[in-house]
Chain A
């Protein structure tokens, strides 16, 4: 008796319908379908699902709805429009409504003059927030936005960039090609505005606190060297070779 190939999973059937399978895999599946009534019924139900969808929602309605959603989402990926003096005020723009200022931790857990960076994440329901892990990649979910918090310590300048899987670098916070001026201090403050990272895969956020302003071009150059050293693997990205204290966080985009 000839053994039949195992039944394909539902996703595999969907992928076959969408033309995603390689030739060999596709032919194998077709061969299975030729001999399996049960899977032909399953396939037919997926075809009916698409037909039903097209009956209920016309293409024009679909297109209009998606266009509206694109306009209303408008993720702000890069922060521009900083005050002319280049000072970052300790102002919390209310994208999220829950209290965001972190009170100073007890003296036992933090040294005066020390620096820190935190990524605070919130979804549409801003009362639910969390802080991105320092280890590994923090999974982001659709619609979630990030605020970058920083505790400058004795440093007076800050620059932030992001690098994604595809090697695309985006300046997040800078001032006319250089670091922003910040006030030294021990309290955690939040950079204005929130960010939504889009597209698949990983994104590494890098924040550099320094005593002198850094040229963005130099930071980009250092990032390119680090990216090459890691062979494009963001999980292995080393610290950038620039002065100052550096903080890196990895997120996995939805």
Chain B
């Protein structure tokens, strides 16, 4: 929503040039590891992860002033990277392999280290629609609050809670 007092419509015919190299430096140093890490986590293929990361930052560079105006550029980046990779996985149908492994019974565990939770989340994602996938990643991997996940997905908190509960029930494990 526009800031109070700032409701003037503006017709933009062209955009301002940015110092692209300086922008890229900033993106590389501040966010490169986070975005590449997210792409690797989901795609599992280093080369595909690098391509995906470049696509994500290409989007940023093309809208750099909007990006800078975000309350949390990093949150926006992680959302874009997550959605981009989930989209790639869906179109490449690479979930098939991951889904097969779900047919094996999983042992109950009392305490699961953080890295194993991330891997378990990733393996289970293929069963769910994309919005649930995104909600699960933001909640369990990014460790956002329900409110933060709701804001990122532009959904209400009850809707997000419902999706996470559905994930927990279907995956046969109670997530705290």
Seen from chain A, the residues whose Cβ lies within 8 Å of a Cβ on chain B are: 9-12, 14-15, 18-20, 46, 49-54, 57, 59, 62-63, 65-70, 73, 75, 123-125, 128, 137, 139, 141-144, 163, 165-170, 198-201, 220, 223-224, 227-228, 231-233, 252, 254
A232 and B6 in contact, given A65-B50, A166-B66 (Cβ under 8 angstroms): yes
Number of A-B contacts (CB under 8 A): 173
* CA gap between A40 and B80 in the complex, in Å: 27
A62 and B72 in contact, given A54-B33, A223-B9 (Cβ under 8 angstroms): no
Residue from the list B32, B56, B79, B141 in contact with A53, Cβ < 8 A: B32
* CA gap between A227 and B7 in the complex, in Å: 7
A167 and B70 in contact, given A73-B62, A137-B154 (Cβ under 8 angstroms): no
Q: How many residues of B contact A (CB 8 A)?
A: 63
Contact with A along B16-59 (1 / 0, CB 8 A): 00001100110110111110110000000000001101111111
What would 17 more interface pairs be, CB under 8 Å, given A11-B138, A66-B61, A73-B58?
A11-B148, A49-B33, A51-B33, A53-B33, A66-B58, A73-B55, A123-B91, A124-B87, A128-B91, A163-B9, A167-B2, A169-B10, A224-B8, A228-B9, A233-B2, A252-B154, A254-B80
Kindly list chain A residues whose C-beta atoms are within 8 Å of the C-beta of B27: 66
Min CB–CB distance A176 → chain B (angstroms):
15
Kindly list chain B residues whose C-beta atoms are within 8 Å of the C-beta of A252: 154
A50 and B21 in contact, given A15-B74, A70-B58 (Cβ under 8 angstroms): no
Among A66, A75, A166, A168, find the residue whose CB has the most chain B CB atoms closer than 10 A. Answer: A66
Kindly list chain A residues whose C-beta atoms are within 8 Å of the C-beta of B20: 67
CB of B123 within 8 Å of the partner chain: no
Residue from the list A124, A200, A228 in contact with B91, Cβ < 8 A: A124
* CA gap between A231 and B3 in the complex, in Å: 9
Residue from the list A69, A75, A199, A227 in contact with B54, Cβ < 8 A: A69
* CA gap between A1 and B56 in the complex, in Å: 46
Kindly list chain B residues whose C-beta atoms are within 8 Å of the C-beta of A68: 54
Residue from the list B11, B83, B141, B142 in contact with A141, Cβ < 8 A: B83
Kindly list chain A residues whose C-beta atoms are within 8 Å of the C-beta of B158: none
Kindly list chain A residues whose C-beta atoms are within 8 Å of the C-beta of B70: 200
Chain A's closest residue to B118 (CB) is A10
Contact yes or no, B62 A18, CB < 8 A: no
Kindly list chain B residues whose C-beta atoms are within 8 Å of the C-beta of A143: 55, 84, 87
Kindly list chain A residues whose C-beta atoms are within 8 Å of the C-beta of B11: 168-170, 220
CB of B131 within 8 Å of the partner chain: yes
* CA gap between A54 and B31 in the complex, in Å: 11
